[in-house]
Amino acid sequence: MQTVPANEINDAAPTALSHLIGQRSVVDQVKVALDAANQDNLPFPSTLAVGPAGCGKTQVAKVIAQEMGADFHEVLGQAIANAADFNALLLGAKDRDVVLIDEAHELEREYQTSLFLAIDQKRIFLQGVRSGRAPQSIPLADFTLLLATTDEFRLLQPLRDRMKLALRFEFYTEQELAELLRQRSRALKWKVADRIYHRIAQRSRGVPRLALRLLQACRRVCRSEGEQTIAVAHLERACQLEQIDALGLGPPEQAYLGILADGTSRLNVIASRLGLPARTVSEVYEPYLLRAGLIVKDDDSMRQLTAEGREHLSNSRKNGV
Ligand SMILES: Nc1ncnc2c1ncn2[C@@H]1O[C@H](COP(=O)(O)OP(=O)(O)O)[C@@H](O)[C@H]1O
Ligand SMILES: [Mg+2]
């Protein structure tokens, strides 16, 4: 399909279950469900895919469609703005097709309700245009519904309950990310110095999307210098350009840690010094800092650096980014 080497990281995404790296429990669950569906000549069961952004929910949904030999339809929850969008999505799917509603928690409650009713009845009810007429109903094909979300508790319980399978995605280990990068580079026919993979993995917070993006940034630097093999110097330059430090922290997180260097601080104070809404700080920036053990917070909304956080900060100040 592509002339080699391909330029875009997503030109070589996995197309089969056996190509997926890590995420053992998800892959095992999918394998069993695929085997059972094939044995009984049934569609893949309705599935909820839950987990952090960039960890493979869409990727697994596509692989399921490919393994089923089925067409794949994808829509964002927030893109379903009216009944016509909703009906078109469900009525557009044929038997065995895989329909992924991504960011399903963004689907308005009204459509979440219509969705579980549609699943129960295997048909959708079109509202009577003229009052007094009974609503018309249309049978639905036997397709597979996949709902992907970062926050399952924002889905209506009855909708969640109707999903037969729940796939829970986890962050990846550095080992897995390094392997994923190696596999992707091979598939793209990119030449990469082997030492790079781990260094990128260390800066990717357990998230394949971040790892692949950084690999792509390295490739850009490499090609801009007219070179063929991605080397450590290209990674260093890419990190410098993107202002990413040794743990993959960007400027807002670095500034966050800098504020705590002066002592314990409240979320609101940190947020106002960063010029960001408190919610953005707590939902976007803090989860990784907490997970990496760089900060701790108490119930009273106070934040402070851990010993690791202090060490990371002083190393970064010594070495630049
Ligand atoms: N297990 C995996 N093996 C190989 N590549 C993966 C894996 N999980 C994710 N990826 C790749 O990481 C990127 C982000 O994955 P994606 O499915 O878009 O994440 P999500 O939908 O959870 O936000 C994609 O390029 C995808 O191909
Ligand atoms: Mg996705």
Check pocket membership of 36 for ligand 1, CB cut-off 6 A.
no
- Residue 259 is predicted with a pLDDT of 96
Contact 290, 298 (CB under 8 A): no
- Residue 212 is predicted with a pLDDT of 97
Which distant-in-sequence residues (6+ apart) come within 8 Å of 180 by Cβ? 21, 22, 172, 208, 211, 212
Q: CA torsion, points 21, 23, 26, 30, in degrees to nearest 10?
A: 10
Domains of the chain: 13-168 (3.40.50.300), 174-242 (1.10.8.60), 251-318 (1.10.10.10)
What is the number of other CB atoms lying within 10 angstroms of the CB of residue 270? 22
* Ligand 1 atom closest to Cα of residue 60: 17
Check pocket membership of 52 for ligand 1, CB cut-off 6 A.
no
Q: How far apart are CA 85 and CA 106, in angstroms?
A: 14
What are 178's strand-pairing partners? none
| 147 Cα–ligand 2 center, Å | 10
Q: Estimate the share of the chain in helix, then strand, then coil, as percent rounded to the nearest 5.
A: 55, 15, 35
Q: Which of 9, 146, 209 to mutate to test the pocket of ligand 1 (most atoms within 8 A of CB)?
A: 209
- Residue 131 is predicted with a pLDDT of 60
pTM here?
0.92
3-state secondary structure of 253: helix
Q: How far apart are CA 150 and CA 80, in angstroms?
A: 18
What are 165's strand-pairing partners? 47
- Residue 1 is predicted with a pLDDT of 46
Rg (alpha carbons) of the chain, rounded to whole number: 23
- Residue 128 is predicted with a pLDDT of 52
| Positions of E strands within the chain | 47-50, 72-76, 98-102, 123-126, 136-139, 144-149, 165-168, 191-192, 229-230, 265-266, 295-297, 302-305
Check pocket membership of 208 for ligand 1, CB cut-off 6 A.
yes
Residue nearest to atom 15 of ligand 1 (CA): 56
Residues of the chain with pLDDT under 70: 1-5, 127-133, 320-321
Mean pLDDT of the chain: 93
- Nearest ligand to the CA of 62 is 1
Strand order in the sheet with 295-297: 265-266, 302-305, 295-297
- Residue 2 is predicted with a pLDDT of 43
Check pocket membership of 57 for ligand 1, CB cut-off 6 A.
yes
Q: From 138, 135, 16, 122, select the one nearest 69 (Cα to Cα).
A: 16
* Ligand 1 atom closest to Cα of residue 10: 25
Residue nearest to atom 23 of ligand 1 (CA): 54
